[in-house]
């Protein structure tokens, strides 16, 4: 007799271990050899279960506005990234680097599925992931809350290490193959790109996110963490300085 599943299913040793330490209630866990490999694969729909499958509560998405109340927070926003493996990989890097959360659109975007959970190695269980109806509008709200918005664009002239990522910051990355949509790019204070040294045209979105996150972590560790305020160095000529506008807190 096969088991009926009503909640969300996750699979893999690390995702299940992190779920046991995380926020979600675990309904039950199936493990090999007590449960046959064929049944585990049927339960999760993947042969990559590593001998363990769990039924858990649905993923608890965060309040996107609450993220903007986090003092000096580092956030990641993904613009229509549709591959759940990329979403999971970004979440893994974000959680490891100390980001406060990841924001994704409600439509035309990957969700926190079992595949994303597996790719994150369970990091989504400890990271705030929020969904927004309109990403450009949320970025505008982030500006009003005092955040600086930096978008990743392969055509940008400024390198990330020339941008100030030490204060309240949102790093915005676009979808695979398309990059940032025009309105989302226009909502950014500045755009940055890693200088290409080799022949490869661009980085995968998850690789680019990891590199940006750890550049931000490097800057923050050298300045004592978040905070912000004062003149932000390394701004391009087209990037407004704090004296050019006032943002609410």
> What is the domain partition of the chain in residue ranges?
8-56, 64-227
Rounded to 5 degrees, φ, ψ at 164 are -90, 110
pTM above 0.85, yes or no: yes
Of 134, 127, 144, nearest to 209 by C-alpha is 127
pLDDT in tens, 16-63: 999 999 999 999 999 999 999 999 999 999 999 999 999 999 999 999
- Say if residue 2's pLDDT is above 60: no
**CA 121 to chain CA mean position, Å:** 14
pLDDT in tens, 183-195: 999 999 999 988 8
Q: b/e string for 39-74 if b means 16 or more Cβ within 10 A?
A: ebeebbebeebbbbbbbbeebeebebeebbebebbb
- pLDDT at position 3: 61
- pLDDT at position 7: 82
Q: For the domain with range 64-227, which CATH number is right: 3.40.50.300, 3.40.50.720, 3.40.1280.10, 3.90.245.10? A: 3.40.1280.10
Q: What is the mean pLDDT of residues 169-187?
A: 93
Neighbours of 234 (CB within 10 A): 16
- pLDDT at position 4: 60
Q: Of all helices (H) and strands (E), which one includes residue 150?
A: strand 148-152
Q: What is the mean pLDDT of the chain?
A: 88
């Amino acid at each position: 007799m096969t088991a009926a599943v009503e909640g969300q299913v996750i699979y893999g040793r690390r995702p299940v271990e992190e779920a046991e330490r995380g926020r979600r209630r675990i309904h039950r866990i199936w493990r090999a050899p007590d449960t046959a490999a064929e049944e585990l694969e049927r339960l999760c729909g993947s042969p990559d279960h590593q001998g363990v499958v769990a039924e858990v509560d649905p993923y608890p998405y965060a309040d996107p506005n609450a993220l903007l109340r986090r003092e000096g927070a580092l956030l990641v926003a993904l613009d229509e990234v549709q591959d759940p493996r990329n979403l999971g990989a970004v979440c893994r890097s974000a959680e490891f680097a100390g980001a406060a959360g990841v924001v994704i659109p409600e439509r035309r975007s990957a969700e926190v599925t079992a595949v994303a959970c597996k790719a994150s190695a369970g990091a989504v269980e400890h990271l705030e992931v929020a969904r927004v109806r309109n990403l450009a509008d949320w970025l505008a709200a982030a500006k009003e809350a005092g955040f600086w918005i930096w978008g990743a664009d392969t055509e940008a002239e400024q390198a990330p290490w020339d941008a100030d990522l030490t204060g309240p910051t949102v790093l915005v990355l676009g979808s695979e193959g398309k990059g940032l949509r025009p309105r989302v790019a226009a909502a950014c204070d500045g755009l940055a790109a890693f200088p290409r040294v080799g022949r490869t045209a661009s980085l995968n979105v998850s690789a680019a996110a990891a590199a940006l996150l750890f550049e931000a972590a490097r800057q923050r560790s050298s300045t004592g963490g978040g905070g912000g305020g004062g003149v932000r160095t390394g701004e391009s000529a087209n990037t407004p300085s704090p004296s050019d506008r006032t943002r609410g807190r």
